[in-house]
Copies of this chain bind each other. A is one copy, B any other.
Amino acid sequence: MSQNLPLHTQLYDAMIQRIRSGAWKEGDRVPSEKSLVAEFGTSRGPVRQALASLRAEGMIVGGRGAPPRVQRTVPAQSFDTFLSFTEWARSIDRSPGQRVIEASRRPATEEIARELGIAPDEAVVEVIRLRLLDGEPAMIERSVHPFWVGRHLLAADLDGGSIYQTLLALHIAPVRARHVIDAVAAHPLDAEWLGVAAGSPLLRARRVTRDEHGGVIESADDRYLPSMTTFVIENTAEHRIPLTREPA
């Protein structure tokens, strides 16, 4: 173990590693303090501190009567992995893919103008792509960008890669996103691209993404085949997360 970190942090890291690797399995009893002290060759204090941290994060549950047990929690996905289909697919060792259906420049409708915070009739760039996981259709992605962002995309190789990476390379960095999740019936054209019957239920995630100045760089509408993707959220009584159920 590294000598640079406090002992309880080193123990915490070692225990997290055991939970992540499955060496300590979900539902297993956590080894006793005594056996951990013996195994790690430390005093009781740092072991207790490490266990308390795991408990505070919900990775150990029980106690007060019930024996403490291991609990795997939903990991917090990094912002870029959650935002970028390409990054996400790679993070789960799947191969991301895309086919551009349409990339166009046109005047903003009133609704789009309101969403992007621009004047109606200002130019926007819309990109529609079919996204693939290991070569299988998984999602129809529609994103609309103000022209100062979108003009870079019209010039980019959208068949080859990630819009997210393209923007990052231009120092256009998303730092905040609001996601509205619901369900819709597949339009006939989307259904054809996704290889399902028209009217099939799709999981829809609409997203407004902002840069560090609060400017909207993207308004997106992603429609997933629910057989390919779900969203997983974990919340607890102690830790509030920015999550609401809202009337449609």
Contact = CB atoms under 8 A, between A and B. Distances in A.
A17 interface: no
Contacts of A248: 226-230
Copy count, this protein chain: 2
Contacts of A201: 183-185, 200-202
Most chain B CB inside 10 Å of its own CB: which residue of A117, A185, A233: A233
A233 B229 contact: no
What 10 A-B pairs are tightest by C-beta distance, nearest first? A61-B214, A76-B240, A183-B183, A201-B201, A66-B213, A182-B226, A234-B242, A183-B201, A183-B203, A175-B237
Interface in A199-243: 199-204, 210, 212-215, 224, 226-238, 240-243
Interface residues of A, number: 71
B233 A65 contact: no
A247 B231 contact: no
Contacts of A213: 61-66
A1 to B, nearest CB: 25
Interface in A51-91: 58, 61-66, 69, 71, 73-80, 82, 88
20 contacts: A61-B210, A62-B214, A74-B244, A82-B243, A88-B245, A175-B236, A176-B234, A176-B237, A178-B232, A179-B232, A179-B235, A182-B229, A184-B226, A200-B201, A201-B201, A226-B248, A229-B247, A231-B244, A232-B244, A232-B246
